[in-house]
Amino acid sequence: MSKRRNWDDDPERPRKRYRNERPTEEEDIEDNLEHLIVKLGDRSTSALEKNLEELVEILDHDVSKSAKSNIIKIICDCVANLPEKTSIYATLVGLLNNKNYHVGGDIIEMLVKCFKDCTKACEWDKSLSYVRFFGDLVNCHVISHGSLMNLFETLVDVTMEDNIPQVRSDFFVYAVLSALPWVGYELCDKKEQDLEQLLNTIDNYMTKRSKVHHTALRVWYSDTPHPQEEYLDCLWSQITKLRSDKWEENHIYRPYINFSKALCEALQHNLPAITIPPHDASYTYPYPKVVFRLFDYTDCPDGPILPGAHSIDRYLIEQNIRWILSTHHRDLKTCSFSLIGLQGGHKFPLEYVLVETILAEIFALPTSKYLEIFYGSLLLKLCKMQPGSLPQVLAQAVEMIFDRLDTMNVACVDRFASWFAYHLSNFQYAWNWDDWSACLTLDPLHPKPKFVRECLLRCMRLSYHQRIAEIVPDGFKILLPDLPEPMNKYAVTDESIKIPGSGLSNQLNELIKNKTPIEEIMKTLDDLDNSTNAGDAEFTPHSLKIDVFLTVLLNAASKSFSHLFSALLKYNQILLSLNNSEDAQRCILNAIYEVWRRHPQLLVVLTDKLLKAGIVDFPAVANWIFSKELANDFTRSYIWEILHSTIRRHIKQVENLQKKLQELKEAKEKSEKAQSTDKDEKDIKEEKEVEPSNEEAIESLEEKVETALSDQKNLFLIVFQHFIMILSEHIQTCEAKGRSFKNHWFRWCIGRLQQVFEHHQHVFKYNSVLESLLFTNDIDAHILIIFRQFCSLQA
Amino acid sequence: MAGYRDHKFSGSRDDYEKRLAGSTTLYVGNLSFHTKEEQIYELFSKCGDIKRVILGLNRITKTPCGFCFIEYYDREDAHNAIRYIGGTRLDERIIRTDWDAGFIEGRQ
């Protein structure tokens, strides 16, 4: 049964079955059943109740004993992977148990096994699904109240363990709290005292928690108009309110209610005692979160009322949306249909919750779960499906976020600009810019004018300069991006002005135009080392050479990206030879900047190309970002686009090496196995010859991986060191002048430092080094706290 | 995924299907004649690292004629481009994306 059921697969992919592999009849039934189980509760011509009854009938009568265990596994997988259908599967299991007590027992056994397995494997989302499912099985008379209480107590007892990270105890508390909307009512009814005690334990735990991470994860630093609550605090408030509402919620669809007569006759099972695997240093737990809040009921005056921030319904609806996103993110069509279909029996303003939850995902810190463009295209699709309501709600949201830009996390401002530009590009760039004209009089470093500037730049990158100039009102012209054209400081028309290098520039220009062979150009350049005595202090002869050559080359090939890339490829040899020192690399980067400073996108792409070609190396780019030449552009987002694409490129390089090493090792293991099994038959000599070379290759790769990892550590060290220096300097200068250092520049800079933690998985590897070398107690508390907040994400 | 096929492909149908199944290259159609490479880079980079973009050119005038090939390094990135970019707008035209068996010189 290992054939299919890969949850990550594209649902559109047709199932292949070749003619010569004709399935047996039994397999056929099994496949059919699997399909029925997975699709249960999806759009169907007949009612869910009827489908359930039929399915139970088939499973009970027509399936052989051996097939049954496969079917049970399928049900367990569905429970883990399709949490939005928890209650549907609970009903199915309830009905099966009612028909056949032993099958019920087998299912419980398998569920418990699956729960243990995924907890051990750190598959936390699945663990949550199982805990919730156990809860719902109590509603279906499959599991006894008492044994569920025991499980909950075991989970909450994790908070008493010594020397464990808070994220561990948080997870197990969360698991219980998030199951309570399903089973709270039943437990309160039958086990009120035990439940009270459990909630008291949790309450105690809640007051003891550290919340250093809170600030690092906030999209907005201000709590007006809506507090940005820590996720567990928020859920605790919601559960507390649910408890005072007598555990009544309005959102969960419970198909088992229609079968209550049949189900209440069923015999219950006791969950076995489950022990939670103890903490291990290799375990990673989910990070804490902060709840993104944009709307309250006053924002949607027409139509149904929006449940309040502490209403459990708000939590349940959002949760449901997230489940749909995670189940269907590979298929926009199904995803958007399921989201629109969420409007169930109890009315709520669906568009508002959809917009809020999707934006929450886009702005999620440290990174969003899926690609930005997934969310962008999903919103486009939803706008298309609900043209009468969704676009207006989205526009309202954009206005509100714009109003709240002052205290928005810097990385989120980037994402906002990038998403909004993409969205506008699909709607003819229609927007009422005049509504934002107040931002024109603000300090240019203020988040609002900066956002508009970045957004217009993004729009231009998706279209062209003229188009964007047309869409904005006249007053906004000052925020328009530059015309993305190259500059050539050596192209002086006035013969009387002599600048160093202009002679060489003319000469090179001719050579390149005439397609002179590379060797000759190299020779011309080499001759210069001996002849020029450029008395300019700014340039050494070598750096002048670099500057002139690149300026001429980039201008000559400026017609399109393709021309530029092929020019770089063609003159690769020359470029490589020019890089003979750290200084030379800096010259190369500066030359590119001088030519293309009005074309940020190209700077991003070109630095990446140079890195890939080995013409500059990673530390050179990092140092360049913080150099005085770029100081003017330091707060612009493209600079950080370059830094992060550089870091990502390095990470990818390391990963590729590690993958190769893994493959070699596996190949070696395989050949060893093969050798030991058929030694007699095979030509042993030949195999022995293969062996040592393989060994060598592995060794040399291992070395490479090690070097690459130490380079990676270095790269992060360089970046952080620069941040610490530049921020400390700023603080000192301001304090010396008696001014507050908390100005716009500081805000942008500290936000960019925070943003480096976007690469959290990799930065975490170097925590102890960072702590002992850089983020020591000597540095300013305002800088140190950023690092401390980051560390608390897994503390 | 069934729409576009390269009619000039030399080789058997099975061969073609096999190459499609492992391809990291997309065919993008219905582009505006004025769309430039840099716009294509901007939009399609949102799905991942692009290896190269090849603009389709008119055989005689050597001007863009409304399609291009995009090669990614990773198949998953290309797949995401099909999922999320196909059917959305670039230069205000709804563009279509499809798998391509891999660009061979001369197909512009």
Count of CB atoms within 10 A of residue A397's CB? 19
DSSP B30: S
B53/A561 CB distance under 8 A: yes
Q: Of A726, A755, A719, A786, which Cα lies nearest the Cα of A413? A: A755
Q: Is pLDDT of A224 > 70?
A: yes
Cβ pair A461, A637 in contact under 8 A: no
B92 and A CB contact within 8 Å = yes
The pLDDT tens digits of the residues spanning B55-108 come to: 998 888 888 999 999 999 999 999 999 999 999 999 999 999 999 986 666 665
A330 and B CB contact within 8 Å = yes
> How many Å separate Cα A265 from the centre of its chain?
47
Mutate to test the interface with A, among B17, B33, B38 (most CBs of A within 10 A): B38
Q: If you search the block for the tokens 């939590």, which residue do you land on?
A: A315
A653 and B CB contact within 8 Å = no
CA distance A467 to chain B (A): 10
User: What is the pTM (predicted TM-score) of this model?
Assistant: 0.92
Task: With beta carbons under 8 A apart, name residues in chain A contacting B53.
Answer: 561-562
Cβ pair A401, A416 in contact under 8 A: yes
Nearest to A561 among B38, B47, B83 (CB): B38
> How many Å separate Cα A605 from the centre of its chain?
22
d(CA A641, CA A483): 20
Q: Is A298 exposed, middle or buried (0-12, 13-18, 19+ CB in 10 A)?
A: exposed
B91 and A CB contact within 8 Å = yes
A377/B84 CB distance under 8 A: yes
Q: What are residue A626's phi and psi, to 5 degrees?
A: -95, 10
A651 and B CB contact within 8 Å = no
B105 and A CB contact within 8 Å = no
State the pLDDT confidence band at B21, using cuts at 50, 70 and 90. confident
pLDDT at A643: 98
pLDDT at B59: 83
Stretch A190-214: mean pLDDT: 97
Stretch A188-193: mean pLDDT: 96
In angstroms and rounded to an integer, the radius of gyration of the C-alpha atoms of chain A is 31
B52/A565 CB distance under 8 A: yes
Classify B67 as helix, strand or coil: strand
Nearest to B47 among A373, A426, A461 (CB): A373
A372/B41 CB distance under 8 A: no
A609 and B CB contact within 8 Å = no
CA distance A562 to chain B (A): 8
CA distance B81 to chain A (A): 9
Q: Residue window 724-763, chain A: list those with CB within 8 Å of chain B.
A: none
CA distance B7 to chain A (A): 23
Of A11-20, A207-216, A585-594, least confident by mean pLDDT is: A11-20
Task: With beta carbons under 8 A apart, name residues in chain B contacting A425.
Answer: 89-90, 92
A373/B80 CB distance under 8 A: yes
Stretch A244-252: mean pLDDT: 95
d(CA B18, CA A790): 46
Q: Is pLDDT of A185 > 90?
A: yes
Q: Is pLDDT of A682 > 60?
A: no
Q: Is pLDDT of A538 > 80?
A: no
Mean pLDDT, all residues of chain A? 91
CA distance B88 to chain A (A): 7
B98 and A CB contact within 8 Å = no
Strands B64-72 and B50-57: antiparallel
Q: Is pLDDT of A311 > 80?
A: yes
Cβ pair A318, A229 in contact under 8 A: no
A240 and B CB contact within 8 Å = no
A562/B53 CB distance under 8 A: yes
Count of CB atoms within 10 A of residue A260's CB? 13
Q: What is the token pair recorded at B84?
A: 């999320």
Q: Is pLDDT of A722 > 90?
A: yes
State the pLDDT confidence band at A19, using cuts at 50, 70 and 90. very low
Mutate to test the interface with B, among A561, A564, A565, A642 (most CBs of B within 10 A): A561
Q: Of B4, B9, B18, which Cα lies nearest the Cα of B106? A: B9
Q: Which amino acid, A177? A: L
The pLDDT tens digits of the residues spanning B30-51 come to: 999 999 999 999 999 999 999 9
Of A237-241, A622-626, A634-638, B103-107, least confident by mean pLDDT is: B103-107
A426/B89 CB distance under 8 A: yes
Nearest to B43 among A12, A380, A462 (CB): A462
B83 and A CB contact within 8 Å = yes
The pLDDT tens digits of the residues spanning A410-448 come to: 999 999 999 999 999 999 999 999 999 999 999 999 999
List Cα–Cα distances, A738 to A674, A708, A733, A743, in angstroms.
Answer: 76, 45, 9, 13
> How many Å separate Cα B45 from the centre of its chain?
13
Q: What are residue A332's phi and psi, to 5 degrees?
A: -55, -40
Count of CB atoms within 10 A of residue A123's CB? 14
- Those residues whose C-beta lies under 8 Å from the C-beta of residue A341, and which sit 6 or more positions away, are A43
A463/B80 CB distance under 8 A: no
Stretch A369-397: mean pLDDT: 97
Closest Cα in chain A to B95: A426
Q: Is pLDDT of A345 > 80?
A: no
Task: With beta carbons under 8 A apart, name residues in chain A contacting B46.
Answer: 371-373, 376, 422
Task: With beta carbons under 8 A apart, name residues in chain B contacting A565.
Answer: 52
A601/B88 CB distance under 8 A: no
pLDDT at A251: 92
Burial call B84-99: b when 16+ CB within 10 Å, e when fewer: bbbbbbbbeeebbbbb
List Cα–Cα distances, A786 to A36, A213, A282, A284, in angstroms.
Answer: 51, 9, 25, 21
Cβ pair A440, A424 in contact under 8 A: no
Q: Residue window 400-459, chain A: list those with CB within 8 Å of chain B.
A: 422, 425-426, 428
Stretch A704-724: mean pLDDT: 97
- Triad A11, A17, A19: Cα angle to 5°: 160
pLDDT at A677: 66
Q: Is pLDDT of B3 > 70?
A: no
CA distance A613 to chain B (A): 13
Task: With beta carbons under 8 A apart, name residues in chain B contacting A333.
Answer: none
pLDDT at A516: 87
d(CA A313, CA A316): 5
Count of CB atoms within 10 A of residue A245's CB? 13
pLDDT at A691: 57
The pLDDT tens digits of the residues spanning A454-480 come to: 999 999 999 999 999 999 999 999 999
Selected residue with higher pLDDT from A544 and A132 = A132
B32 and A CB contact within 8 Å = no
Cβ pair A622, A719 in contact under 8 A: yes
d(CA A704, CA A597): 36
pLDDT at B105: 61
**Adjacent-strand bridge partners of B68:** B28, B55
pLDDT at A767: 93
B42/A462 CB distance under 8 A: yes
Q: Of A420, A425, A391, which Cα lies nearest the Cα of B89? A: A425
Helix-, strand-, coil-residue percentages of chain B, each rounded to 5: 30, 30, 45
Nearest to A332 among B38, B52, B84 (CB): B84
pLDDT at A497: 66
A461/B39 CB distance under 8 A: yes
A334 and B CB contact within 8 Å = no
A613 and B CB contact within 8 Å = no
Task: With beta carbons under 8 A apart, name residues in chain B contacting A380.
Answer: 88
Cβ pair A282, A379 in contact under 8 A: no
d(CA A10, CA A331): 7
Of A337-346, A397-406, A545-554, A625-634, least confident by mean pLDDT is: A337-346
CA distance B4 to chain A (A): 17
d(CA A67, CA B91): 55
CA distance A79 to chain B (A): 26
DSSP A220: B
State the pLDDT confidence band at A12, using cuts at 50, 70 and 90. very low
d(CA A182, CA A81): 18
B51 and A CB contact within 8 Å = no
Q: Residue window 41-100, chain A: list those with CB within 8 Å of chain B.
A: none
Task: Tell me the domains of chain A and their CATH numbers.
Answer: 26-220+227-265 (1.25.40.180), 311-479 (1.25.40.180), 502-528+540-616 (1.25.40.180), 645-669+696-792 (1.25.40.180)
The pLDDT tens digits of the residues spanning A615-627 come to: 999 999 999 999 9
d(CA A543, CA A563): 25
Q: What are residue A643's phi and psi, to 5 degrees?
A: -60, -45
B80 and A CB contact within 8 Å = yes
Strands B25-29 and B64-72: antiparallel
Cβ pair A252, A181 in contact under 8 A: yes
State the pLDDT confidence band at A73, using cuts at 50, 70 and 90. very high
d(CA A29, CA A58): 10
B46/A371 CB distance under 8 A: yes
State the pLDDT confidence band at A503, using cuts at 50, 70 and 90. confident
pLDDT at A15: 44
pLDDT at A1: 40
Q: How many residues make up chain A in this entry?
A: 795
Nearest to A332 among B1, B83, B90 (CB): B83
d(CA A181, CA A187): 11
A374/B80 CB distance under 8 A: yes
Q: At what angle do helices A618-625 and A600-612 cross, to 10 degrees?
A: 150
Q: How many residues make up chain B in this entry?
A: 108
In angstroms and rounded to an integer, the radius of gyration of the C-alpha atoms of chain B is 13
Q: What is the token pair recorded at A544?
A: 């002048």
pLDDT at B103: 63
Classify B50 as helix, strand or coil: strand
pLDDT at A17: 44
Nearest to A377 among B41, B88, B91 (CB): B88
Task: With beta carbons under 8 A apart, name residues in chain A contacting B90.
Answer: 425, 462
pLDDT at A46: 82
The pLDDT tens digits of the residues spanning A101-148 come to: 999 999 999 999 999 999 999 999 999 999 999 999 999 999 999 999
pLDDT at A501: 80
Q: Which amino acid, A111? A: L
